């Protein structure tokens, strides 16, 4: 049976992945996968849950991804960008609160030229050499990624979104391509970044087959981090009336990913917590081992509006961290203030 094979070999072919995905909603299969996922995360990470301070520093974007609330053509989005000083203030605040990883995430905003980004990276790493710095600012050239890496950036999150060409084209304008996205991920890996790929669960047009392609691509890339969270419609997009992704399928996939990639850094995402008030706790119970509390200034949080009803937009950073600390403890784990690097084998 395909579940036994997955547990034994930590691999799935395309057809096996399609077969496995038919078990979504099957209580017995989900329980078995969850138990195995927990066993593996304990083997490599004990009961630790790593925390990342998320700084959403710009919602300007030159891209036009059809599902995203901050895409260029959403003229009703209220745009903002943080100055280098404001970003450093967020880091100062985060460091005080015990964060040892900062994640700079934003739209693809041309204001932040390579020179400006390098300056920001050097300032953060200069002030906090004991912290890891993750970037999540989209597709760049090899040369740009090289400069970011040399300036001190440690990790890079770039979800591939879907590994199926036709599906990718249905979610993005013609100016974007899956091939370019994949090339970025391979470039980042070759430069020595800890790399995160991933996808939305339940994005419009997703099928068992496209998900199986995601699982096959991830095995080929072998990233250190994988970000998955349910798709949630945004009212100003063409997908406003599409149903949100399923919490159940997201949890099932978290367990599958933990088994495929026993050491992977796997967040229980804000999107999961948005669809289900205990979504992040449930994610931890299925193998996730990272949470990403928001360190962005409260005045800008609502403006980083990727999807409707996003949670955690009104709280101070300290409240956000405190809340997650309690949630993590209630799920039987321990939130730790360490860099939380990938456990190399």
Q: How far is the CB of 232 from ligand SAM (least distance, A)?
A: 4
Q: Which residue among 215, 307, 320, 328 contacts ligand SAM (CB under 6 A)?
A: 307
Q: At what angle do helices 114-127 and 84-97 cross, to 10 degrees?
A: 30
Nearer Cβ to ligand SAM (50/67): 67
Task: Note whether 18 binds ligand SAM by CB under 6 A.
Answer: no
Nearer Cβ to ligand SAM (112/333): 112
d(CA 28, CA 24): 10
DSSP state of 248: H
Torsion angle defined by CA atoms of residues 315, 286, 198 and 134, in that order, rounded to the nearest 10 degrees: 50
User: Which strands sit side by side in the sheet containing 48-51, from one edge to the other?
Assistant: 290-291, 48-51, 334-336
Residue 57 is inside which H or E element, if any?
A: strand 53-58
275 burial type by CB count under 10 A (0-12 exposed, 13-18 middle, 19+ buried) = buried
Q: Which residue among 20, 21, 200, 265 contacts ligand SAM (CB under 6 A)?
A: 200
Nearer Cβ to ligand SAM (40/264): 264
The footprint of ligand SAM on residues 83-112 (CB under 6 A) is: 105, 107-108
Are the C-beta atoms of 244 and 231 separated by less than 8 Å? Answer: yes
Q: How far is the CB of 17 from ligand SAM (least distance, A)?
A: 20
Nearer Cβ to ligand SAM (68/335): 68
Q: Quick count: other Cβ atoms within 10 Å of Cβ 48? A: 18
Q: How far is the CB of 277 from ligand SAM (least distance, A)?
A: 17
Nearest to 200 by CA among 252, 167, 161, 255: 161
Q: How far is the CB of 158 from ligand SAM (least distance, A)?
A: 5
The footprint of ligand SAM on residues 110-169 (CB under 6 A) is: 136-138, 158-159, 161
SS3 at position 293: coil
Q: How far is the CB of 161 from ligand SAM (least distance, A)?
A: 6
Nearer Cβ to ligand SAM (176/320): 176
* Residues in Cβ contact with 319 at an 8 Å cutoff, skipping those fewer than 6 apart: none
Radius of gyration over every alpha carbon of the chain, rounded to an integer in angstroms: 19
Report the DSSP pairing between strands 101-106 and 53-58: parallel
Q: Quick count: other Cβ atoms within 10 Å of Cβ 60? A: 17
Q: How far is the CB of 307 from ligand SAM (least distance, A)?
A: 4
- Residue 95's Cα: distance from chain center in Å? 21
Q: How far is the CB of 227 from ligand SAM (least distance, A)?
A: 7
Q: Which residue among 18, 87, 184, 271 contacts ligand SAM (CB under 6 A)?
A: 271
Site string for ligand SAM, 211-250 (x = CB under 6 A): ------------------x-xx-x----------------
Nearer Cβ to ligand SAM (128/156): 156
Nearer Cβ to ligand SAM (51/134): 134
Match 């099957």 to its residue by tokens. 26
Nearer Cβ to ligand SAM (29/157): 157
Strand partners, 229: 200
Are the C-beta atoms of 270 and 345 separated by less than 8 Å? Answer: no
Nearer Cβ to ligand SAM (61/132): 61
- Give the footprint of ligand SAM on this chain (CB under 6 A): 67-68, 105, 107-108, 136-138, 158-159, 161, 200, 229, 231-232, 234, 271, 306-307
């Amino acid at each position: 049976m395909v579940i036994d094979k997955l547990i034994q070999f930590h691999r799935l072919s395309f057809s096996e992945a399609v077969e496995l995905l038919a078990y979504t909603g099957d209580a017995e299969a989900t329980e078995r996968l969850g138990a195995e996922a927990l066993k593996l995360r304990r083997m490599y990470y004990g009961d630790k849950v790593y925390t990342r301070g998320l700084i959403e520093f710009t919602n300007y974007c030159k891209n036009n991804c059809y599902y995203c609330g901050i895409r260029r053509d959403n003229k009703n989005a209220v745009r903002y960008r943080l100055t280098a000083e404001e970003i450093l203030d967020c880091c100062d605040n985060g460091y005080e609160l015990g964060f040892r990883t900062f994640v700079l995430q934003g739209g693809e905003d041309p204001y932040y030229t390579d020179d400006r980004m390098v300056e920001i990276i050097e300032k953060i790493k200069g002030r906090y050499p004991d912290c890891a710095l993750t970037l999540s600012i989209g597709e760049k050239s090899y040369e740009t990624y090289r400069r970011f890496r040399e300036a001190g950036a440690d990790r890079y999150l770039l979800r591939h979104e879907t590994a199926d060409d036709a599906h990718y084209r249905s979610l993005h304008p013609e100016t974007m391509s899956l091939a370019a996205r994949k090339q970025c991920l391979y470039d980042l890996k070759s430069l020595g970044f800890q790399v995160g790929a991933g996808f939305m669960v339940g994005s419009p047009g997703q099928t068992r087959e496209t998900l199986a392609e995601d699982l096959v691509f991830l095995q080929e890339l072998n990233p250190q981090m994988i970000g998955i969270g349910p798709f949630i419609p945004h009212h100003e997009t063409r997908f406003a009336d599409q149903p949100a992704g399923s919490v159940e399928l997201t949890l099932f996939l978290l367990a599958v990913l933990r088994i495929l990639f026993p050491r992977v850094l796997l967040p229980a995402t804000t999107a999961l917590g948005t669809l289900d008030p205990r979504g992040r706790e449930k994610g931890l119970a299925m193998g996730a081992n990272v949470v990403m509390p928001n360190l962005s200034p409260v005045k800008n949080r609502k403006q980083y509006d990727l999807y409707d009803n996003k949670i955690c937009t009104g709280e101070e950073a300290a409240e956000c961290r405190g809340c997650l600390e309690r949630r993590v403890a209630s799920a039987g784990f321990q939130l730790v203030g360490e860099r939380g690097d990938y456990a190399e084998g």
